[in-house]
Homo-oligomer: A and B are copies of this chain.
Amino acid sequence: MSRPPTSPTAFGVTTDLVVFTMHEGIWEVLLVRRSEDPYRGRLALPGGFVEAGEDLEDAAYRELREEAGVEPHHVVLEQLRTYGTPGRDERMRVVTVAWLAFGADLPMPVAGVDVASAEWVPVDSVDPSTLAFDHGEILRDGVERCRAKLEYTNLATSFCDPEFTVAELRQVYERVWGVRLDPRNFHRKVTGVPGFLVESGQRTTRGGGRPAMIYRAGDQLRLHPPVMRPGS
């Protein structure tokens, strides 16, 4: 076995997670309060170092479990982007692979070793510029990716329980995009995409109003035609 052709620099590699959920109709992101320097006391994204022999995706799932108490089958995980500007971590040269995770009404997180507290924070109430490291930039990218993918994928169903109504699905779009959508057009739209929603045959039993049909996510991952965000 030959040596690498150049003498490579040693990097630390971390995983940072932008974990989104929908809790009581509020779009929330998981943030941790750092208990160690640097940025002690500041809010940050959950994450940590990738271990030797560990796949990047596995590291993301491990951090999800350790710092957020979230099991893999509760979320959809997707790579966001990699951030590695020199100096982004003053301790050493660190490259971080950021991931997006989406889940329905995820549980309250528990404190971890590096983390004084972990909490769900409404996305709209976060000031990205106050986050540790470059996590504000990562969060902004994650928010934009999330909003964009609602348009042309079934991502919104990841924010819903396995069985959901069209109104619950619509609320995901409304809260993430920060808009109001016409319930009648939205209903016709999403039920009209073949394979996107599957009728369960059940109906809601709930106070006030006609009971709604309960659906499950279908096998259609991409939405054609897409659900368009108002304003282009």
Q: Chain A residues in contact with chain B, CB under 8 A? A: 1-6, 8-14, 36-38, 48-56, 79, 81-86, 90-95, 97, 113-114, 224, 232
25 contacts between A and B (CB under 8 A): A1-B37, A1-B38, A1-B90, A1-B91, A2-B38, A3-B91, A4-B49, A4-B91, A5-B113, A8-B92, A9-B12, A9-B50, A9-B51, A11-B13, A11-B95, A13-B95, A53-B86, A53-B93, A55-B84, A55-B85, A55-B86, A79-B81, A79-B82, A95-B95, A224-B232
Q: Contact at A49–B8, with CB atoms within 8 Å?
A: yes
Q: Contact at B54–A82, with CB atoms within 8 Å?
A: no
Cβ of A74 to closest chain B Cβ, rounded Å: 24
In the bound complex, CA of A14 to CA of B84 (Å): 12
In the bound complex, CA of A97 to CA of B85 (Å): 13
- Give how many copies assemble into the complex: 2
Give the contacting residue for A10; candidates B10, B48, B54, B84; CB below 8 A.
B10
In the bound complex, CA of A8 to CA of B11 (Å): 9
Q: Contact at B5–A12, with CB atoms within 8 Å?
A: no
Cβ of A114 to closest chain B Cβ, rounded Å: 5
Q: A79-B81, A81-B79, A84-B97 are in contact. Are A8 and B12 (CB under 8 A)?
A: yes
Closest to A34 in B: B5
A94 cross-chain contacts in B, Cβ below 8 A: 8
Closest to A14 in B: B8
A83 cross-chain contacts in B, Cβ below 8 A: 56
